[in-house]
Homo-oligomer: A and B are copies of this chain.
Amino acid sequence: MKRPRILMADDHAIVLAGLRKLVEAEGEVVGMVEDGRTLVDMAQQLRPDIVLLDISMPLLNGLDAARQLTKLVPESKLIFLTMHATPTYATEAFKAGAAGYLIKRSAAVELKQAIQAVMRGQHYMTPLITKDVLAATLQSQDGQPSKPLVTSLTQRQREVLQLVAEGKGTKTIASILNISVKTVEFHKFRIMGELNLHSTAELIKYAIAEGLVSVST
């Protein structure tokens, strides 16, 4: 197989230098950039086989950079390597034209697998989040597949979730909503099943991430 020419983009310079050592085992690193705008410029000049990029970058974020690159340099395969492990970011990445999605918690060997997969014309997603991504897409077949998962909850479930995240006890929530404690417990149970969460702590962090409640209170 042809040795791919690779352009790398990450705003963490020291991390980028380290990753280069790993990537050099799989291909030729033709450039390294530290912001999205420079990435778009360099990609047009270098026309690399693979662009390895982060999402969080100055001047232009990785998702918007990807949307431009799919039009400007359609022959380059895009592989995201980011700390974001949420299904929302992953689906956005693929909608933006990505061929691969890794997270920084992924094992180093996944980098090799992803590069080889996209060079074969295949897609690659880190197994660490495939389950969540599938769950998210299945639940939103009709509507936009990239909306936050909170929309898959019912009205009542969102009410309960917010009160839980605000620190209200089960009994308090029951009296606020004029339902029994058992019903509140049931809603929490269903919410956790729906979102694939397994503790009240995760429930609260989810509500915070979705903006249902604020941390400053």
Contacts and interface: CB of A to CB of B under 8 A. Distances in A.
Interface of A: 11-15, 17-22, 81, 83-86, 102, 104-108, 110-111, 164-169, 198-202, 204-205, 208-209, 213, 215-217
Given A201-B167, A208-B205, A216-B83, A104 B12 contact: yes
B105 A14 contact: yes
A166 B201 contact: yes
7 contacts: A14-B19, A15-B19, A18-B18, A21-B21, A164-B201, A200-B201, A205-B215
Top 7 A-B pairs, shortest CB-CB distance: A18-B18, A21-B21, A17-B108, A167-B201, A12-B104, A18-B19, A167-B199
Nearest to A205: B215
B167 A108 contact: no
A13 B18 CA distance: 12
Contact of A14 (B81, B164, B204, B215): B81
Contacts of A169: 199
A216 B83 CA distance: 9
A12 B83 contact: yes
Contacts of A164: 201
Contact of A22 (B18, B81, B83, B107): B18
Nearest to A34: B105
Contacts of A166: 201
Nearest to A89: B216
A196 B148 CA distance: 33
